Structure 1
């Protein structure tokens, strides 16, 4: 039955269908490796780990139920076990003790359970209801939302995904693009994955905006919008990838959604005398000083916007444009520059939670009516670029040799000069003619075609996403839980930025379990950390967690946390 299996009778009963699930039972134990992750359970539950799971998912009778699977997956995420296969490197019996079982499921069992859940195709619905609740629990943060794309590079051979630019690699590589939606301090709401390389604006129009119109809480009524022409439903913040005066105009005029982005074409610098130093409070609580100036600008001859600029000590000016007319310019600057919290989130999720790792190896067909870049058009673009470069090079040589004619040396060797000039002129004519023909052909070629119109060699599928959506949602819950815990302990730390590093240390620490079935209390005693200062922080965290009076799911046992030295 595998390492750590002690409840043999229940396992046999589950295998023949005599019981629906294994009971969650805790036994007295000492020095449980990585048991510190139990301190994250109240935060995981409050962020929705087991909320609505029974509404959207079902598992057949067996030893492990939904609750066991979801808690196990959340714990392995927080323990930085980045793939399901990596579970083999940890002690199954040790982690099993902290979820009230003899051992956690084997790798093949977890994969099987995930496959059953994926077949139900409820991952998006589950994430949607959680996302809505997260927004409602902090409706002020939900008023300003951050969108950013992240490419998951794919090197497999199951499908030939289109290439796209990967900024962190500075290369064009095959992969999927995930568009993440976060709040101002980086907490995630949901993610939209795209196999086709249609860009951020397409994802916003087709997937993100329709969902936000349904989920963002406390949106103004139509009457409110009519009475105040500057009022916005909510705001979207994105980088230059989303810069489009036409899109910004559409968002404002059709939906009253305001957009924040960097000005792609800022033009000349403003006079330094226009800038005034202002003290502003960032969303993470940090107080900073910025030199800001503001003007109005008619963006791309499409829509009137506010333009706020920040000037650095070296004179560099950063230009922000927005259709949000109500906040002061300092608030606009804070909201735009808080976009880096989303960049930090994506980097953190890659390094700690493995959001780029494959969960499954299957592919799924795409809707054949989806439009993609015509490969023939792309080839013509590439050829035009190549010929243009050659033409530019030959034209430059022709200009140089013409100017050089004035020297005595060239006059003495006129025959050689005229021959070279003629060769260059002939090359220029050939390249010019070729370029004109290519441009004419490009004009006659459709830029976009449907996937169904692609040749068999060019067709591609999407990587299967259902299991990924389940795991991504669990990782979002884990990140939000960890962030909530970090916000509790950072107040007691001299270096608040190290809060999550301390939590990582806590999660892998050893604990002792002492169940009191008479009083329904499960005492979790965490072992001492490396120094007294950290111990005091852990002790304070334990007191805060005890105030939640969290009951371990599937039992009547209230969790009580303390430090071994107390």
Structure 2
């Protein structure tokens, strides 16, 4: 039965397939429940959509645990920073069970099998799409400006030889897969698309992200407004320099999608007299002053765009360009510089939510029609780059060879000999580079996966279970963000709000069910200082106003602070 088991009859019935319905949560009066504070996040999780649409896309076979119990426990372990399912082996299952009204949670092997059962078909993708549409429709002000960036997830395993990607944070080329995330201005995630073979940001936007956004985004402007104003756009995409492409900007403009990115080739600095100070409010609510200037700029394909530059205190000019022709300059500058909220999201989720952790060790075949860089082409290109670097150093050394001594035979002859040797090396490298370039020219740049040499064949990591867990982590992050927004105003140091929430989730709490009154009181123990208790009391008031009932029970949750 396992450690912590108490409901023996129901478990026996489930083991032989005689349990028709999952066990209903039954809370007992308990004191000092470890991590009981994570129950404070349940109202936010439910509002964010943890159980919404889940029954439409997932079906579990008859058993002891219900779908809602599994989803709640997966969200809880994300919030208390259990970064992988494997880590549950070292936690007391009975203590976790108290949080969901059961005797214990599933053991790791059972939990993995349940996740595998839930992710057999397209359910995870469809569930994520439904939630994304719900989030965008319910907060259209967040969905009007979308941030897109790729996150390289390094793979250190031995089951498959994934293509190498450049990992900027490690400054190395490592075997990895790329996840393209779409976030709001404050960093809250909307959707993620995995690419084992990364075709580049522009192709992913046009072939994968944009078609999905067309189905999910609310209508910001109607057809008549677009027809009457040829410069009006429907929504804005904000990306880094990887998306810089004049033809791409032109194609997006034709679809009435505005683009905002850094200028890849800004040219000379503008006169500092053009810059004026503007008081701006950043996406975080912080008030600051920016020195800004704006001009029109014609790209190489004749497309006119807006160019906005920010002048730093040290005199550096940051250039951004965009095809949003109707917004004011200040909101565009704020939107571009808010792109770091997405980078902060990646960093925070890597550290606290185990964003790069594998969910399982399964692999699956890559579509044979997918094209990858030809390994032979990559090898030749690498040799050319290496030889060109050596040639450049030889040319620099050749240019520095001068005869400073008097022109005498015993001085001139060694000098000429040295220069001749250097000249011969230069000519040898020039011939070598020319030969390599001819070979590279005759070598196909890309090959289909099926045409790769046998030693270069690879498979991709399983995506369905990863997408399922990533969706739960998105829900957990959005729920934590909603709670942070409630608490931020009550703290003297707003940057500590997420640290406070992590402390709440990990704190002990007393559970006091009252079945006659239909309530479940969660009494959180006091934290380290009084200012935190004041903030938590306000949080309790907000949570109690939601009158949340624990799923599949009639118990209305009441949140309190106190140790008595």
Shift of 1:412: 3.9
* 1:410–1:483 distance in 2 versus 1, CA, 3 Å: farther
CA contact (8 A) 1:246 1:302 kept: no
Unaligned runs of 5+ in 2: none
Q: Hey, what's the Cα distance between the residues in 2 that align with 1:433 and 1:294?
A: 49
Residue 344 of structure 2 aligns with which residue?
344
Distance 1:439 1:363, change over 3 A: same
> How far apart, in 2, do the equivalents of 1:544 and 1:25 lie?
25
Is contact 2:79-2:353 (8 Å) kept?
yes
Q: Relative to structure 1, is the Cα distance of residues 410 and 453 closer, same or farther in structure 2, using a 3 angstrom cutoff? A: farther
Listed as ranges, the gaps of 5+ residues in structure 1 are none
The equivalent residue for 1:373 is: 373
Match of 2:157 in 1: 156
Distance between the aligned counterparts of 1:4 and 1:179, measured in 2?
41
Partner residue in 2 for 1:362: 362
1:403-452 deviation digits (Å, cap 9, x = unpaired): x1364167642222232222222222222122222222222222222112
Determine the structure 2 residue equivalent to 1:209: 210
Instruction: Please report how far the alpha carbon of residue 121 of structure 1 lies from its aligned counterpart in structure 2 after TM superposition.
Output: 2.7
Matched, 1:238 2:239: yes
**Are the structure 2 counterparts of residues 247 and 6 from structure 1 closer, same or farther at C-alpha, using a change threshold of 3 Å?**
same
Per the TM alignment, residue 532 of structure 1 is displaced from its structure 2 partner at its CA by 1.8
Alignment partner, residue 177 of structure 1 = 178
Give, in angstroms, the shift of residue 204 of structure 1.
1.2
Which residues of 2 match residues 72-83 of structure 1 at below 5 A? 72-83=73-84
What residue in structure 2 maps to residue 168 of structure 1?
169
SS in 2 for 1:67: helix
For 2:226, the equivalent position in structure 1 comes to: 225
Q: Distance in 2 between matches of 1:154 and 1:457?
A: 18
TM-score by length of 1: 0.97
CA distance in 2, matches of 1:479, 1:58: 25
Deviation (angstroms), 1:535 = 1.2
Contact kept, 8 Å, 2:29 with 2:513, in 1: the verdict is yes
Matches for 1:18-33 after TM superposition, within 5 Å? 18-19=18-19, 20-33=21-34
TM-score of the pair, normalised by structure 2: 0.97
Superposed displacement of residue 221, structure 1:
3.4
Paired with 2:386 and 2:12, the residues of 1 have a C-alpha distance of: 69
In 2, the alpha carbon distance for the partners of 1:285 and 1:541 equals 21
Task: Work out whether 1:405 is the aligned partner of 2:403.
Answer: yes
Counterpart CA distance in 1 for 2:284 and 2:64 is: 44
User: Aligned residue pairs: how many?
Assistant: 563
The corresponding residue for 1:95 is 96
CA distance in structure 1 between the aligned counterparts of 2:399 and 2:535, rounded to whole angstroms: 73
Q: Distance in 2 between matches of 1:282 and 1:144?
A: 14
Q: Cα distance, 1:225 vs. partner?
A: 1.5
Q: Provide the C-alpha distance between the structure 2 equivalents of 1:449 and 1:409, rounded to a whole number of angstroms.
A: 59
CA-based RMSD = 1.4
Who is 1:388 aligned against? 388
Q: Go from structure 1 to structure 2 and tell me whether the alpha carbon gap of 1:422 and 1:101 turns closer, same or farther (over 3 Å shift).
A: same
Question: What is the DSSP-based 3-state SS (H/G/I as helix, E as strand, rest coil) of the residue aligned with 1:473?
Answer: helix
Structure 1 ranges of 4+ moved more than 3 A: 409-412
CA distance in 2, matches of 1:296, 1:414: 59
1:565 shift after superposition: 5.7
**Do the aligned residues in 1 keep the contact of 2:247 with 2:301 (CA within 8 Å)?**
no
1:372–1:451: 8 Å Cα contact kept in structure 2? yes
Deviations 1:47-99 (A, max 9, x none): 00001111000010000111111001000000100011111222211221120
Q: Which residue is 2:328 aligned to?
A: 328
Q: Secondary structure of the equivalent of 1:63?
A: coil
CA deviations 1:320-355 (Å, max 9, x no partner) are: 000011111111110000001111110000000001
- 2:453 is matched with 455
Whether the 8 Å contact between 1:163 and 1:197 is mirrored in structure 2 is: no
User: 2:59·2:118 contact (CA, 8 Å) conserved in 1?
Assistant: yes
Q: What SS does structure 2 have at the residue aligned with 1:280? A: strand
Contact residue 152 and residue 175 of structure 1 kept, 8 A? yes
Contact 1:410-1:417 at 8 Å conserved across structures? no
Partner of 2:41: 40
